[in-house]
């Protein structure tokens, strides 16, 4: 009864379509339930002078207004550095920061009360950009550095050099279900929280700390999320605390569900980056050394910025061997909502930067960019050591690049693109092939653990509980497949139960693309314990001493819903009957499983170690069409080839690859966060923030996976597929740069990310303009070295 490897639909697919799949705000209201909202800061930075909360709390329909002073426990929290406040105290640090929680009998009552709000804030000077933070010396955490070889020596001796600045904007997670939580108070003061969260354990712990409770007095559950993408790894904490505070203070159940506008205004995004780069290389295009000074915009508090920046450092090589390098990195503190996790977790920004460097090297040398990328690609027996000392092994990066170039007719199309650009006066075409190498594991070692509870019932059906959370990525479906196959039973006989901290303790967030790796292995571990119990029982059950058949577990087989001893193959027992007999024989049919990822370590002092269990790799080639007069971009074709090991569910994996790629395309093309000069988000709704739609899909879209016989580790020899595909979007961004480079052969065009129509048109204007203008951002490709701007000290 083969289940793993089958195209089984997502277990909630029908419910998603029909509306029967319940999300937090769909749960039935209790008869005494209060509606919870928050009073937010209207300014980016200021001192709170006066408010009329006491007056508002007396209004009809208002059950209470609560400030930081009403929290019985801590007002500070943070997953790494505890520097963020649930509710502002004297100072506000970003537009949308919660100042007070308001609870009412109805949404109308809450809205009416908020209209009568009187809030006086003395504005203080805000800091918004990385440059402003550098000037003000506002940083979060410590500077980080990775070094290898002797960059200064090879830079001084380099045959060719480039230098410049890479800029990328942030990105809104845009999950369809906004932040939401329900809280119920128990008879002894304990709190139950339903949260749309990727991290129920963090919700449990932080709610307990805020309310002055023990962890054992708070339970967090999560049935499913309507999307997460990293935006609910830490940022679900504040709404959960809001609801829990109201429940604790009033004794009534409390519900909070952000509007989309409020969610976008008050929650963190993907980090914007500014990277100063220098690269030395040979005439053939071989990189001899690079230096990257990396600055991220962390927002007003640390959140996960330090971990995200670490992954940027660990992915700034992408798929390329760099013999000499210096990566220096720092987080800038600004007056925006604390930026947070987003699919790729800092990896995309570092990988975009190195891809930009490779593209510029090809432009300077007037070579095909694929030739330069292939020359610098990680190998098998040599140039296979990362900047942090981990060997890149059991990979197929060169083979992936070569196969994709062949199947996509890359060389033929490159010639056609060049010919088109020579002839067309209205449009430009661009073509680029970019690889990816993405490390799988949490880089913080202790997070690489998971546990599961598996219960087999007397009728042979199974319930499974893990700490993993389902946000549409198909985790539950894959775990059901794994468990069904362990017992050789039907997929329909297995159910995944609601994620609860009551059943699975001290769990890691569903993040880092490791949800199936950790929770799937833990579930299988529990199944193997139960199967061992059943096997021992079956060996006794099938024994026939009179025929010389003594109990032997080596002869017991589970197959197609039945169990038998291969010495008496005709004497089969259904799994259901075996389970019932085992129960009557007082055999344990419920077990807890545990798994920790082996061999993951990183010495942060030396910057060396093995921070990843393995790498997921792939490549994409994309072709774009650009209107010379408007900058309008059309993605005409994309071809993807990925090594994802042996797929547990090919259909779900295909959906993850396509979805991740298209979400990345949004980041590098149309998704543009815009703010006022007061720090107010202007693009705060679907009407002003453009995520990809059906028209943004490439007209021709090919996706293939390949077998990798060298990959023999991980659950069922599969590979993580949640985050890696997003970085394939860089082929689209680099295709735009390739198109721009055809306008003039003496200039290396600059291209910021995202490549919106406005950005492209600005670069076209520069390329067609007067290069004597000091404001131009284009760079002459004929110069052997471009002077780097004077850099501030990374240490501040």
Q: Does 138 reside within a domain?
A: no
- Output the pLDDT for position 546: 82
pLDDT tens-place string over residues 64-121 = 999 999 999 999 999 999 999 999 999 999 999 999 999 999 999 999 999 999 999 9
User: Among 762, 758, 634, 629, which residue's Cα sits nearest to residue 692?
Assistant: 634
How many CB atoms are closer than 10 A to CB 282? 14
Which structure tokens are listed for 123?
């504005």
> Residue 456: CB partners within 8 Å, gap ≥ 6?
462, 487, 530, 579, 589, 590
Domain termination site, one of 257, 279, 311: 257
Q: Does 546 reside within a domain?
A: yes
Q: Which of 212-216, 437-441, 679-683, 769-773 has the lowest mean pLDDT?
A: 769-773
Contact yes or no for 518/450 (Cβ under 8 A)? yes
- Output the pLDDT for position 548: 82
DSSP 271: P
d(CA 321, CA 289): 10
- Output the pLDDT for position 792: 44
Domain termination site, one of 218, 234, 257: 257
Angle (deg, nearest 10), helices 730-741 and 650-668? 40
User: Among 445, 389, 438, 310, which residue's Cα sits nearest to residue 609?
Assistant: 389
The mean pLDDT value of the chain amounts to 95
Cα dist. 114→48, 88, 92 in Å? 17, 17, 18
Beta bridge partners of 681: 675
pLDDT tens-place string over residues 426-440 = 999 999 999 999 999
d(CA 579, CA 587): 9
- Dihedral (CA of 224, 225, 229, 232) sign: negative
Between strands 218-222 and 191-195, the pairing is: parallel
More confident residue, 593 or 795: 593
Neighbour-count burial of 145, counting CB atoms closer than 10 A to its CB (0-12 exposed, 13-18 middle, 19+ buried): middle
Cα dist. 543→551, 561, 569, 576, 692 in Å? 5, 20, 12, 19, 63
Q: Is the peptide bond before 754 cis (omega within 30 degrees of 0)?
A: yes
Q: Does 437 reside within a domain?
A: yes
Between strands 191-195 and 273-281, the pairing is: unpaired
d(CA 565, CA 554): 9
Q: Dihedral, CA atoms, 245, 249, 250, 251, nearest 10 degrees?
A: 90
Residues 634 and 725 in one domain: yes
Q: Does 8 reside within a domain?
A: no
Which structure tokens are listed for 228?
């997460």
- Output the pLDDT for position 476: 98
pTM for the full model?
0.96
Q: How confident is the model at residue 1 (pLDDT cuts 50, 70, 90)?
A: low
SS3 label, residue 155: helix
> Residue 356: CB partners within 8 Å, gap ≥ 6?
166, 277, 734, 737, 751
Neighbour-count burial of 433, counting CB atoms closer than 10 A to its CB (0-12 exposed, 13-18 middle, 19+ buried): buried
Number of domains comprising the chain = 3
The 3-state secondary structure of 677-725, one letter per residue: CCCCECCCCCCCCCCCCHHHCCCEEEEEECCCCCCCCCHHHECCCCCHH
More confident residue, 432 or 787: 432
Q: Does 19 reside within a domain?
A: yes
Residues 574 and 487 in one domain: yes
Q: What is the mean pLDDT of residues 511-531?
A: 98
Q: What is the mean pLDDT of residues 238-260?
A: 98
pLDDT tens-place string over residues 628-639 = 999 999 999 999
Q: Does 136 reside within a domain?
A: no
Q: What is the mean pLDDT of residues 541-556?
A: 91
d(CA 82, CA 140): 11
| 317 half-sphere exposure, CB direction, 13 A CA radius | 30
CATH of the domain at 110: 3.90.1170.50
How many CB atoms are closer than 10 A to CB 29? 12
Residues 277 and 395 in one domain: yes
Which structure tokens are listed for 298?
């962390």
Which structure tokens are listed for 570?
């005709």
Residues 423 and 481 in one domain: no
User: Among 729, 594, 707, which residue's Cα sits nearest to residue 657?
Assistant: 729
Contact yes or no for 144/768 (Cβ under 8 A)? no
Domain termination site, one of 257, 278, 294: 257
Cα dist. 650→6, 228, 441, 580, 714 in Å? 7, 22, 22, 34, 17
- Dihedral (CA of 629, 632, 637, 643) sign: positive
Domain containing residue 90: 13-125+179-257
Q: How confident is the model at residue 793 (pLDDT cuts 50, 70, 90)?
A: very low
Beta bridge partners of 718: 645
Contact yes or no for 475/650 (Cβ under 8 A)? no
Between strands 98-104 and 62-66, the pairing is: antiparallel
More confident residue, 150 or 785: 150
Q: How confident is the model at residue 777 (pLDDT cuts 50, 70, 90)?
A: very low
Residues 438 and 465 in one domain: no
CATH of the domain at 466: 3.30.365.10
Tokens 């701007």 sit at which residue? 789
SS3 label, residue 638: strand
Residues 406 and 500 in one domain: no
> Residue 773: CB partners within 8 Å, gap ≥ 6?
none
Residue 774 has pLDDT above 70, yes or no: no
Q: What is the mean pLDDT of residues 590-606?
A: 97
Q: Does 99 reside within a domain?
A: yes
User: Among 167, 213, 177, which residue's Cα sits nearest to residue 197?
Assistant: 177
Active site annotation includes 310: no
Residues 296 and 227 in one domain: no
> Among residues 310, 355, 723, 766, which one is catalytic?
723
Residue 661: which region, alpha, beta or left (left: phi > 0; alpha: psi -120 to 50)?
alpha
- Output the pLDDT for position 769: 85
Cα dist. 43→98, 121, 345 in Å? 11, 8, 28
- Output the pLDDT for position 770: 60
Q: What is the mean pLDDT of residues 579-588?
A: 98
Instruction: Please compute Rg for the chain using Cα positions.
Output: 28
Burial per residue of 76-96, b for 16 or more beta-carbon CB atoms within 10 angstroms, e otherwise: bbbbbbebbbbbbeeebbbbb
> Residue 420: CB partners within 8 Å, gap ≥ 6?
427, 429
Residues 301 and 186 in one domain: no
Cα dist. 644→134, 175, 235, 315, 715 in Å? 41, 25, 30, 18, 12
Residues 329 and 423 in one domain: yes
Neighbour-count burial of 576, counting CB atoms closer than 10 A to its CB (0-12 exposed, 13-18 middle, 19+ buried): middle
Q: How confident is the model at residue 773 (pLDDT cuts 50, 70, 90)?
A: low
Residues 564 and 657 in one domain: no
Q: Residue count of the chain, please give it.
A: 796
pLDDT tens-place string over residues 268-319 = 999 999 999 999 999 999 999 999 999 999 999 999 999 999 999 999 999 9
Residue 183 has pLDDT above 80, yes or no: yes
Residue 796 has pLDDT above 60, yes or no: no
Contact yes or no for 255/222 (Cβ under 8 A)? no
d(CA 79, CA 142): 16
Q: What is the mean pLDDT of residues 351-379?
A: 98
Contact yes or no for 478/652 (Cβ under 8 A)? yes
d(CA 435, CA 448): 26
Residues 209 and 349 in one domain: no
- Output the pLDDT for position 362: 98
Q: Does 302 reside within a domain?
A: yes
Which structure tokens are listed for 406?
């062949």
Residues 95 and 51 in one domain: yes
Q: What is the percentage of the chain residues whose pLDDT exceeds 90?
A: 95
């Amino acid at each position: 009864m083969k289940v793993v490897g089958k195209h089984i639909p997502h277990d909630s697919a029908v419910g998603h379509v029909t509306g029967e799949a319940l999300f937090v705000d769909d749960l039935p209201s209790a008869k005494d339930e209060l509606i919870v909202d928050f009073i937010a800061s209207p300014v980016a930075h200021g001192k709170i002078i006066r408010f009329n909360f006491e007056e508002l709390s007396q209004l009809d329909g208002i059950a209470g207004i609560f400030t930081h002073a009403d929290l019985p426990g801590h007002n500070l929290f943070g997953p790494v550095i505890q520097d963020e406040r649930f509710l502002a105290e004297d100072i506000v640090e970003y537009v949308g920061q919660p100042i007070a929680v308001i609870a009412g009998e109805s949404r109308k009552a809450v809205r009416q009360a908020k209209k009568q709000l009187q809030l006086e804030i003395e504005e203080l000077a805000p800091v918004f950009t990385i440059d402003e933070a550098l000037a003000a010396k506002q940083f979060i955490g410590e500077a980080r550095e990775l070094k290898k070889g002797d960059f200064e020596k090879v830079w001084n001796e380099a045959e060719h050099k480039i230098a410049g600045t890479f800029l990328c904007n942030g990105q809104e997670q845009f999950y369809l279900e906004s932040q939401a939580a329900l809280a119920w108070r128990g008879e002894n003061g304990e709190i139950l929280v339903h949260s749309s969260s990727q991290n129920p354990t963090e919700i449990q712990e932080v709610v307990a700390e805020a309310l002055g409770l023990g962890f054992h007095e708070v339970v967090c559950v999560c049935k499913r999320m309507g999307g997460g993408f990293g935006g609910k790894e830490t940022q679900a904490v504040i709404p959960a605390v809001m609801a829990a505070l109201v429940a604790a203070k009033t004794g009534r159940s409390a519900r909070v569900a952000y509007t989309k506008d409020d969610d976008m205004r008050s929650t963190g995004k993907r980090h914007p980056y500014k990277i100063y780069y220098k690269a030395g290389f040979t005439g053939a295009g071989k990189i001899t050394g690079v230096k990257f000074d990396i600055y991220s915009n962390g927002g007003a508090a640390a959140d996960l910025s330090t971990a995200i920046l670490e992954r940027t450092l660990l992915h700034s090589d992408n798929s390329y061997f760099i013999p000499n390098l210096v990566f220096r990195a720092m987080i800038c503190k600004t007056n925006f909502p604390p930026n947070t996790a987003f699919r790729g977790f800092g990896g995309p920004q570092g990988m975009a930067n190195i891809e930009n460097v490779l593209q510029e090297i090809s432009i300077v040398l007037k070579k095909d960019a694929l030739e330069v990328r292939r020359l610098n690609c990680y190998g098998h027996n040599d140039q296979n050591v990362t900047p942090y000392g981990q060997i890149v092994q059991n990979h197929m990066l060169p083979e992936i690049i070569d196969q994709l170039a062949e199947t996509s007719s890359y060389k033929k199309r490159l010639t056609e693109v060049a010919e088109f650009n020579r002839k067309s006066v209205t449009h430009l075409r661009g073509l680029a092939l970019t690889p990816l190498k993405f490390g799988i594991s949490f880089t913080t070692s202790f997070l690489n653990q998971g546990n599961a509870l598996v219960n087999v019932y007397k009728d042979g059906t199974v319930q499974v509980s893990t700490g993993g959370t389902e946000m549409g990525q198909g985790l539950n479906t894959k775990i059901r497949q794994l468990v069904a196959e362990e017992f050789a039973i039907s997929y329909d006989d297995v159910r995944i139960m609601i994620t609860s901290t009551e059943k699975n303790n001290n769990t890691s967030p569903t993040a880092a693309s490791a949800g199936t790796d950790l929770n799937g292995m833990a579930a299988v571990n529990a199944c193997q314990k139960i199967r061992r119990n059943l096997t021992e029982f079956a060996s006794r059950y099938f024994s026939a001493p009179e025929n010389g058949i003594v109990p032997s577990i080596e002869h017991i087989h589970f197959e197609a819903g039945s169990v038998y001893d291969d010495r008496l193959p005709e004497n089969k027992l259904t799994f259901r009957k075996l389970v019932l007999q085992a129960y009557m024989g007082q055999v344990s049919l419920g077990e807890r499983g545990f798994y920790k990822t082996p061999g993951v370590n990183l010495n942060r002092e030396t910057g060396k170690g093995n921070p990843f269990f393995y790498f997921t790799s792939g490549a994409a080639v994309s072709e774009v069409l650009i209107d010379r007069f408007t900058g309008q971009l059309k993605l005409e074709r994309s071809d993807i080839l990925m090594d994802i090991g042996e797929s547990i569910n090919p259909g779900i994996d295909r959906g993850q690859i396509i979805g991740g790629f298209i979400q990345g395309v949004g980041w590098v093309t149309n998704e543009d966060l815009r703010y006022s000069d007061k720090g107010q988000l202007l693009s705060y709704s679907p009407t002003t923030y453009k995520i990809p739609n059906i028209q943004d899909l490439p007209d021709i879209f090919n996706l293939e996976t390949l077998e990798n016989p060298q990959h023999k580790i991980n659950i069922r020899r599969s590979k993580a597929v949640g985050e890696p595909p997003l970085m394939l979007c860089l082929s689209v961004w680099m295709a735009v740069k390739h198109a721009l480079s055809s306008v003039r052969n003496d200039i290396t065009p600059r291209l910021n990310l995202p490549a919106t129509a406005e950005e492209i048109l600005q670069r076209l204007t520069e390329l067609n303009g007067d290069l004597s203008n000091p404001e131009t951002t284009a760079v002459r490709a004929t110069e052997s070295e471009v002077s780097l701007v004077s850099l501030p000290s990374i240490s501040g």
